Amino acid sequence: MLSLSGQRQLQYDRQVATWLLLCAAVIFGMIVLGGVTRLTGSGLSMVEWKPLMGVIPPLSEEAWLATFEKYRQYPEYQQVNRGMSLDGFKSIFMYEYLHRVLGRVIGLLYFLPMVYFAMRGRVRAGMMPKLWILFLMGGLQGLLGWYMVKSGLVDNPRVSQYRLTAHLGLAFAIYAYMLWLAFELLFTRARVSPVGPGRSLWLVGLVYLMILSGGLVAGTRAGFAYSTWPLMGTTFIPPGLYSLSPAWLSAFEDITTIQFNHRIFAYLLFAIMHVYALLVWRAGLSVRGKVATLLMLAALWMQAVLGISTLLLHVPVWLAASHQGGAVVLLSASLYFAHVLRRQGG
């Protein structure tokens, strides 16, 4: 039987968890919007980084013309979008503008309630340092986003696939850590599972590595290289794999190798997750554990279908963005699966 103070702390835990879940949901939208920004070629339309003043868009025709003139000085306009009209520029500018503004909104949505909960003594003991780590990760994400954009404001008007993958990876890491802390607060009373939480967390790690692999595909536009499945062109193993020197560099810079690796990783992950799900199911699961297992497998199948469809339809924006969103869903489901195995509540 919980004491009155214990019951009050559980109520506070639910409040903090609800806030974290709300922030995670907005980050979900941010990740999808970031994908749309990249897919529409909008990411290099804002050539300046103004953390404070950047929240105000051009409000007059004169301001728009001045902003457009700055863009015209950079390689993307000169090499890719030469002759673009002001209306065309406004279209791509707004995607990047909304992406940056949403990042600032997330910062406020996170920081202000964190301070409120801390000042009111509602944060469980030991949780505050973790919340500060999340805040610092968010600040680093903003800096990394600009570092990524800068790589495309030089001679080659494309951002570095390394910086893009790092930016994407940190976004998913923030989301995953936030979701895990929310689970910890919501399911504090559940018992520890005998199934083996360490192995299930390795599964989450594999999903995360798969997401990083997808970042390399996005950064090099390798998804456009082969629009066939299950073959790549006319063969399962395409010619020219690991053709760069040194060979390992192909895994990061050769589009054929990058797409091939992403496919093979997907096949392996698909098989591993099914085998592991079967093993833990046979080992004995609570009702919540069975639900978590089925949710994870459903997310896995959905993501596989989205990935194949994106390839076959030659990477349409809406479908590719859905595939990126599907990665968030799969990571969420695998995190929930891992947490339930760690603390089965029956």
Tens digits of per-residue pLDDT, 123-173?
998 999 999 999 999 999 999 999 999 999 988 889 999 999 999 999 999
The reported pLDDT for the residue numbered 189 is 55
The model's confidence at residue 52, banded by pLDDT at 50, 70 and 90, is low
What DSSP string runs through 154-220?
Answer: SSS-S--HHHHHHHHHHHHHHHHHHHHHHHHHHTTTSEEPSS-HHHHHHHHHHHHHHHHHHHHHHHH
Residues 6+ apart with CB under 8 A from 317: 36, 39, 40
Q: What is the mean pLDDT of residues 248-265?
A: 97
Name the β-bridge partners of 128: none
What is the number of other CB atoms lying within 10 angstroms of the CB of residue 33?
Answer: 18
Q: What is the model's pTM?
A: 0.94
Q: What is the mean pLDDT of residues 323-343?
A: 94
**3-state DSSP call for residue 96?**
helix
Provide the 8-state DSSP code for 247: G
User: Rounded to an integer, what distance in angstroms lies between the CA atom of residue 79 and that of residue 75?
Assistant: 6
What is the number of other CB atoms lying within 10 angstroms of the CB of residue 191?
Answer: 11
pLDDT digits (tens, 9 = 90+) for 54-113: 678 899 999 999 999 999 999 999 999 999 999 999 999 999 999 999 999 999 999 999
The reported pLDDT for the residue numbered 216 is 97
pLDDT at 283 over 90: no
Q: Where are the beta strands (DSSP E) in 57-193?
A: 191-192
Which amino acid, 189?
R
Q: Find out whether the peptide bond into 230 is cis, omega within 30 degrees of 0.
A: yes
The reported pLDDT for the residue numbered 26 is 97
The reported pLDDT for the residue numbered 180 is 96
pLDDT at 194 over 90: no
pLDDT at 6 over 90: no
Which amino acid, 2?
L
pLDDT at 336 over 60: yes
pLDDT at 342 over 90: no
Higher pLDDT pick, 85 / 196: 85
The reported pLDDT for the residue numbered 344 is 62
The reported pLDDT for the residue numbered 346 is 36
